[in-house]
Structure 1
């Protein structure tokens, strides 16, 4: 039964394509799993009631996708119902693992799963799993905050007080159907024409496997902000410049290309819609010159990405294909985790488990910058084909050192390169 439907939104096209291009046994890499704290006195019935309320309130939580619809795949909003809440028996770990790792069937399964561990009827732990296709960090924050309000109201037996939902994803999709993306597509056509060929060509070894590591640097938060203040740019531009320089130094290619996750909330005009409003936009940066020059270019790329982010994603992919040989399989993502703490007083390097599922996505590298209230974490996933284990660590440490001291990173068998040697950097506060 269908309550309403619409074509896929422009941003949804990226996430559906990514879902279809990822092997089924690796799709749980696109899941968001959280252990959500519950107030004392929460029962299984309270959880069911609260989730039913949120599912009724937010259509994205009861949306499935008709991938065979013509002329275009559709998002299909189903009628409200009480979502399944799985109660763990004597093997809670098995339940949590199944809920977390079993692939979502987006053609018929809602993008939310819930499992509880309880003593009798008293909930001790609430485990929620979402399909990233339907929620991003902003929407997740909104949803979990509302869950807290609803649970508290249910326990206290008082009315729920939340502002009305003005727009749903279907409203955004119907609005997009009235727009002409020609101007934005012209911008991305110009970017696609400048794409270099495979920047990792000189580094490919054919090695199998993948690596993942993170480097938490408390001082990097203030350093990046000081540089941003000095040059009157956003801190994200500082990290974009540092990333481009580090990649260029490693590859020996002065012009680097990658995809940067960019929010389309503001540019869409529907910034409060619950959904996944971030997808990767193309970035090309020439790194020959001083750090200040690269930073200026990076700031321009950030502004352009935000200005032209609201565009049908699949048409941008077609522009890249029309450009010929370019290979752009590296992604960069900025994540704001404040007011949460990095929980580190000194630099902390950690090797993470091999990203086996991510490695099946077809990407070369995935770099993330987490900004906490008291530090910054740099995280890198890389295919062994393009970067060995030692160079993964050198990349993270070299990136941080570039911003701290202005020293260019060094790597094994460093290729000949003309990338930036001079780094203009203010003294951090």
Structure 2
């Protein structure tokens, strides 16, 4: 979902009588400043990396271009000051003697960086190559910096991070931190009173007593009678590595229609998109489908400005029978999401265990496509005397470990200028490029039909 609309959603939940986590604060500082347990989000990423040590599925790459008078060495020094402020950026991950993983917070940590002159094309090639190097979570810093001077007034920065420190809000937060640190020079601002490791410890203790209602909801919603997966996965190369991925970049021709459809039903574009995607998945005759999505659990005031991974998966179960029309499916999608969001704090791994268990090295048992809306308006760091643009780098691996199809949705512009871009990352052992492109074309047509009430 779009991150900056979570406050509005909480109001909707309250008016509907659904419990949402209150922003009460009160997270204590942990007792041991050097170590802490893993948060649920960290544990999910750590377990997968343990299963696939050479995996780059959790590697995220951003290529940020600064045009103007910028100093790449000053940017690197600003990042060092951010690392000093945020413990999560100088944390390593280990398996304890008791078999339980933990995080170790370092007093300091060197962030690898390189500086060179290169053309923009060569810089992109080198950045993509760096993205193919897995992180060793026991020894490596969780981020890397590659600077390329591509012209007298142009610098490209490849920021490579591991998902264990990153969620959908992190880039915007890191951008603001970098702006302040770059302008402040050598001055170091105060550290957050509560750090990510404090939240991890609090989360573990807090979850023990509050997860039963969430658990009951998901057991009831996704029990033994849940619908079968519906994606046509027979077109892939079965010999391909389970992480090997391709990507289809697709701009919706029905971008404006989607925003109008959402406005007509007084829902967000995310809800309208999910309803239309569910309709596409149901075209093989299914009566119901399940779709995964990622939400944030930044419910406490202390978490709002923290760098770190607060992501969790929830699952939407939607009716898509032939008789189901937009007038019913879109409101049903909104209700389903609101209810799921109200129970978002149950860790996805706990949900899986309660519903029969699953090995971390297997594709998700509850869904075969996952849809994520990327926050609109994330411009990247705005440095004095420079303009900024950025792009995601494809790491040739499935974006969400072993999910056959991940759709990341970027909404850009406003009003009549709105465009919606879809980055569809697909597992090569499940799909080929043409099949995914056809699914997105059907989605485009479904949105167009919906605005004209043809389904």
Q: Does 1:140 align with 2:171?
A: yes
* Consecutive unaligned residues in structure 1, runs of 5 or more: 342-351, 409-420, 424-429
Residue in structure 1 matched with residue 212 of structure 2 by the alignment: 182
Q: 2:369 aligns with which of 312, 330, 340?
A: 330
Q: Does 1:214 align with 2:249?
A: yes
After superposition, the Cα gap between the structure-2 partners of 1:138 and 1:176, relative to the gap in structure 1 and judged at 3 Å, is same
Residue in structure 2 matched with residue 380 of structure 1 by the alignment: 424
* Consecutive unaligned residues in structure 2, runs of 5 or more: 1-31, 381-391
After superposition, the Cα gap between the structure-2 partners of 1:3 and 1:37, relative to the gap in structure 1 and judged at 3 Å, is farther
Residue in structure 1 matched with residue 3 of structure 2 by the alignment: none
After superposition, the Cα gap between the structure-2 partners of 1:90 and 1:285, relative to the gap in structure 1 and judged at 3 Å, is closer
* 1:279 Cα offset (Å): 2.8
* 1:90 Cα offset (Å): 7.9
Distance 1:50 1:396 in 2: 41
SS at match of 2:372: strand
Distance 2:153 2:48 in 1: 39
Q: 1:366 aligns with which of 394, 402, 406?
A: 406
Q: 2:328 aligns with which of 281, 293, 299?
A: 293
Q: Does 1:170 align with 2:205?
A: no
Distance 1:203 1:53 in 2: 47
Q: Does 1:262 align with 2:301?
A: no
Residue in structure 2 matched with residue 390 of structure 1 by the alignment: 434
Residue deviations 1:99-155 (CA, integer Å, cap 9, x gap): 332111111111111222359x9994433211122012311211122212222222x
After superposition, the Cα gap between the structure-2 partners of 1:164 and 1:305, relative to the gap in structure 1 and judged at 3 Å, is farther
Q: 2:310 aligns with which of 257, 277, 284?
A: 277
Distance 2:253 2:236 in 1: 36
SS at match of 1:381: strand
Structure with bigger RCO (C-alpha 8 Å, 6+ apart): 2
Distance 1:135 1:191 in 2: 29
Residue in structure 1 matched with residue 279 of structure 2 by the alignment: 245
Distance 2:88 2:79 in 1: 13
Residue deviations 1:322-358 (CA, integer Å, cap 9, x gap): 59995533221111233669xxxxxxxxxx9997422
Residue in structure 1 matched with residue 387 of structure 2 by the alignment: none
After superposition, the Cα gap between the structure-2 partners of 1:218 and 1:246, relative to the gap in structure 1 and judged at 3 Å, is closer
After superposition, the Cα gap between the structure-2 partners of 1:19 and 1:253, relative to the gap in structure 1 and judged at 3 Å, is farther
* Counterpart mapping for 1:10-409 below 5 A: 10-22=40-52, 24=54, 26-27=55-56, 30-35=59-64, 37=66, 40=69, 42=71, 44=73, 46-68=74-96, 70=98, 72-88=100-116, 93=123, 96-117=127-148, 124-154=155-185, 159=187, 165-179=192-206, 180=209, 181-193=211-223, 194-200=225-231, 204=234, 207-208=237-238, 211-217=246-252, 219-220=254-255, 222-249=256-283, 251-266=284-299, 270-288=303-321, 289-322=324-357, 328-338=367-377, 356-358=396-398, 361-373=401-413, 374-383=418-427, 386-406=430-450
* 1:388 Cα offset (Å): 4.6
TM-score calculated relative to the size of structure 1: 0.78
SS at match of 1:240: helix
Distance 2:398 2:335 in 1: 30
Distance 1:90 1:233 in 2: 46
Residue in structure 2 matched with residue 349 of structure 1 by the alignment: none
SS at match of 2:356: helix
* 1:187 Cα offset (Å): 1.4
Residue deviations 1:3-26 (CA, integer Å, cap 9, x gap): 5221111222222233334461x4
* 1:404 Cα offset (Å): 1.7
Distance 1:142 1:326 in 2: 33
Distance 1:354 1:10 in 2: 26
Does the 8 Å contact 1:36/1:128 carry over to 2? no
Distance 1:143 1:389 in 2: 34
* 1:265 Cα offset (Å): 1.6
Does the 8 Å contact 1:365/1:381 carry over to 2? yes
